[in-house]
Structure 1
């Protein structure tokens, strides 16, 4: 009886830990190329596998990281991301790749990746980067970890923590990075708070940031 009870407890905690995990699980097969048929889509951080017999080398190949990506309006930065939405062969493999180009004084604003740790290497330029983490000596405060990076330097941003990259030079900068998720997610602090749809109640933002409601409205108009 005791053995059965112990078995039930172990299995239950195992299931709970697997359901509560936000990062990509280890794959159960060599590969699982994402099916592109929209009718097979599921609302999880992954896609249904297509028949392995139909997989080709092209499922694991993508081109285009030799150029800058999509511009972030008004920020002077350009993001070229290779994740599950662009490369079907990444499905279940728990990894993605990113290239970021910066104009002089370009910025990747404070943001988080809820499902992935990010590591970057600077190929060109000089960047001021950092992330925020709870202060273990005072849980009511936040500690910043910042560094100036030059060509060849590497920096890591732990999963889920707010971080940023800023080109402090008067020349262009280029960064390559990797994330340990096929779809790490993205929450941009400013635009998510002031540009949500539907918008947050004015009182929440006014009290949280100590702003009058007129300023809140202006920021909501800017980010929307």
Structure 2
């Protein structure tokens, strides 16, 4: 039987197809390889794609963006489903998948912000940030403080930072994913790092490597 996450790729891809008479979305077998309804290769999907490896690379990026394991899994599945449904010929192109995932996350962030600006991680971070600035924090405390600081970054700054640090993308690739100029990428990275340094300044040497 298929793994639930593999089946979800197929279900989501099918839901993204336009019209009942449009091309059928590929099924996904247990191995993660897309296949047609007869079990053979799915039309239009290149063979030899390392789907498991692609999923893990996207998952690392998604975790950096969402800071939540379940949200990251949903984001990865949505991104892969969209690639399979809209551009299966580019399924082997990791850069296209990264761009799809990043734009999807940014779109979700913008919608959430419009719906309720006062909700979310920002408020929680502010509550947790109230502590004695002179207190000595252990490793877990420093990690938690860093994660809250990253969560407080504006979506575009957080995306630029994650794509640069976690995914190792160059400025041009980040600009393509964020649909902006390279200069804007540099600016967002500078602002993100400055905000993190300011937020972590009282942690001592551990906070200097941001």
- TM more than 0.5: no
The structure with more helix, counted as a fraction of residues: 2
The higher relative CO (CA closer than 8 Å, separation ≥ 6) is in 1
Q: TM-score, normalised by structure 2?
A: 0.26
Q: Which has the larger radius of gyration?
A: 1
Q: TM-score, normalised by structure 1?
A: 0.25
